[in-house]
Amino acid sequence: MTHEEGFGKLEYAYSITETASASDGSTVYGIDAQMREDGGPVSRERLDDIFCTRAEAEEFMAALKENGVDPCHLLDVAEDWLAR
């Protein structure tokens, strides 16, 4: 998702992360969110081990993209998402 603001072009990028669970070694999923201005990194947040299935992570990532969530709000949005 791209926005024109202030001094340059802002772009939000989201990706799914995969890690092994510390408890049993199964694959768990998270989200990496980045904001770039004019192609250069500005901010980045990453939440690992928050989803048990890739489908859950994909659904959450689609909502992030649709709403253009800034990385600084990723934790709050994830908490709200998981509490629903």
| Largest Cα–Cα separation, the chain | 47
Average pLDDT rounded to a whole number, residues 18-34: 94
**67 is written with which tokens?**
């709403």
Q: What pLDDT, on the 0 to 100 scale, is given for residue 8?
A: 73
Of 42 and 77, the one with more pLDDT: 77
69: pLDDT strictly greater than 90: yes
The residue to which tokens 């659904």 are assigned = 59
> Where does the pLDDT of residue 17 fall: very low under 50, low under 70, confident under 90, or very high at 90 and above?
very high
Q: The whole model's pTM is what?
A: 0.84
* pLDDT value of position 24: 92
Return the residue matching tokens 């939000």.
12
